[in-house]
Amino acid sequence: MTEATGKTNLLGLTQPEMEQFFERIGEKRFRAGQVMKWIHHFGVDDFDAMSNLGKALRDKLKGCAEVRGPEIVSQDISTDGTRKWVVRVASGSCVETVYIPQGGRGTLCVSSQAGCALDCSFCSTGKQGFNSDLTAAEVIGQVWIANKSFGTVPAKIDRAITNVVMMGMGEPLLNFDNVVAAMTIMMDDLGYGISKRKVTLSTSGVAPMIDKLGQVIDVSLALSLHAPNDALRNKLVPINRKYPLAVVLDACKRYIGGLGEKRFLTIEYTLLKDVNDQPEHAAEMIALLADVPCKVNLIPFNPFPHSGYERPSNNAIRRFQDLLHKAGHNVTVRTTRGEDIDAACGQLVGQVLDRTRRSERYIAVRELSAETETPRSAANRT
């Protein structure tokens, strides 16, 4: 239900929820499929345009339902084809969605929360604090908006969005139900028909929710590792103090093992100069991942003002990659895309109305320590 209008927002309903909705208003369940196709395949939000519904049903729907996507504040297209949308959600905060075309693929990076409570030390979203969970309609609404921007071609034909990664702002496992509902619609043929291997949820390691995820849905999983030992990970990814590496990797192995076919965990590792990019870190990582079926994705740090960190040199990145590669790992280095529109990983800023007031504390601390702190000591601060 949208608070402002008192109407049910059909955009965020999964197929069973949509069927229940039609039953509730005294209509046949098959209407759910018709309406879902109008919404997700054709991007329609006006009931009058749904030509296979009779006038009486259209009028009834206008009275009790709506199709409401998040409000688009801006959209930019980078010189490299990357697209970025800033959208405003009901809480008043803004979040970002990024589309990255590459070869025959088009990957949409979707946000799950306005801000983030987890405060990873190198992440600009974390520095803004937390404001709100996105509703299911606000999560799938980002796919809806992006899909519509490519014209009214049905999503399944000649599709521009082939992959979705829950790697925008926020920790998706801390907004569990809404993210699961939205991912269900992404994979549903009445929604966007994207295959389960091409929908990826990225988590900083909320271990119990990884198990819960395995009970309700089958999508690809990425773990934001960033450090090969607990001492360093406690500083970079504070949730590690609650769910240390052994616990989180066990949960990931259970998740991957439970999918019932050969699947891989993606390990994301943001490379921070002189902090986690040394040969000894690569050696520790090789030992740690010895029995984990995984692919490694190295993300060179994307700088933002006052972060206190630096991106390693290309040589250091290549050295790290080579060491993992020689140990038999499949390793890719994420190329930075859309830099001219600030669309790179960890640069998503939105405009979060910070309930935790973390950004104010952060700026104050940074100003106090700016003159003395080196990037290496910044990593030891948390």
Annotated binding site for [4Fe-4S] cluster: 116, 120, 123
78 binds ligand SF4 (CB under 6 A): no
Residue 225 Cα distances to 235, 246, 270, angstroms? 12, 12, 8
Residue 41 Cα distances to 14, 108, 161, 205, angstroms? 14, 16, 12, 34
Of 158, 142, 160, 140, residue with least CA distance to 150: 160
Name the residue nearer to ligand SAH (CB basis): 189 or 250.
250
Give bridge partners of residue 270 from the DSSP assignment: 299
Cα first-last separation, the chain: 40
147 contacts which partner out of ligand SF4, ligand SAH, none, CB within 5 to 8 A by kind?
none
Span 176-235, contacts to ligand SF4 by CB under 6 A: 204, 224
119 contacts which partner out of ligand SAH, ligand SF4, none, CB within 5 to 8 A by kind?
ligand SF4
Task: Determine contact, residues 299/271, Cβ cutoff 8 Å.
Answer: yes
Given 123, 183, 187, 267, the residue binding ligand SF4 (CB under 6 A): 123
**Tokens 């829950």 appear where?**
166
147 binds ligand SAH (CB under 6 A): no
Given 147, 204, 220, 321, the residue binding ligand SAH (CB under 6 A): 204
Span 340-369, contacts to ligand SAH by CB under 6 A: 345-346
Given 47, 192, 301, 320, the residue binding ligand SAH (CB under 6 A): 301
Task: Determine contact, residues 362/120, Cβ cutoff 8 Å.
Answer: no
114 binds ligand SF4 (CB under 6 A): no
Task: Determine contact, residues 97/85, Cβ cutoff 8 Å.
Answer: yes
**109 is an active site residue:** no
270 contacts which partner out of ligand SF4, ligand SAH, none, CB within 5 to 8 A by kind?
ligand SAH
Name the residue nearer to ligand SF4 (CB basis): 38 or 130.
130
Q: Which helix (H) or strand (E) holds 220?
A: strand 220-224
Given 19, 66, 96, 119, the residue binding ligand SF4 (CB under 6 A): 119
Task: Determine contact, residues 98/348, Cβ cutoff 8 Å.
Answer: yes
For residue 52, the minimal CB distance to ligand SAH (Å) is: 39
321 binds ligand SF4 (CB under 6 A): no
Name the residue nearer to ligand SAH (CB basis): 13 or 222.
222
**345 is an active site residue:** yes
For residue 116, the minimal CB distance to ligand SAH (Å) is: 6
Cβ atoms within 10 Å of 377's Cβ, excluding its own: 11
Give Dmax over CA atoms of the chain in angstroms. Answer: 70
**CB closest to ligand SAH, residue no:** 346
116 binds ligand SF4 (CB under 6 A): yes
The amino acid sitting at 84 is K
203 binds ligand SAH (CB under 6 A): yes
Residue 170 Cα distances to 93, 138, 153, 246, angstroms? 13, 13, 30, 23
Helices and strands, number each (H, E), in the chain = 13, 14
Kindly state the number of chain residues that form the binding site for ligand SF4, as judged by CB under 6 A.
11
Q: Which phi and psi angles does 362 have, rounded to 5°? A: -60, -50
Q: Which helix (H) or strand (E) holds 115?
A: strand 113-115
302 binds ligand SAH (CB under 6 A): yes
Give CA–CA dist 208/242, Å, rounded: 11
Name the residue nearer to ligand SF4 (CB basis): 100 or 190.
100
The active-site residue, picked from 96, 138, 252, 294, is 96
Can you give the binding site for ligand SF4, defined by CB under 6 A? 116, 118-120, 123, 125-126, 170-171, 204, 224
Can you give the binding site for ligand SAH, defined by CB under 6 A? 120, 122-123, 167, 171, 202-204, 224, 268, 270, 299, 301-302, 345-346
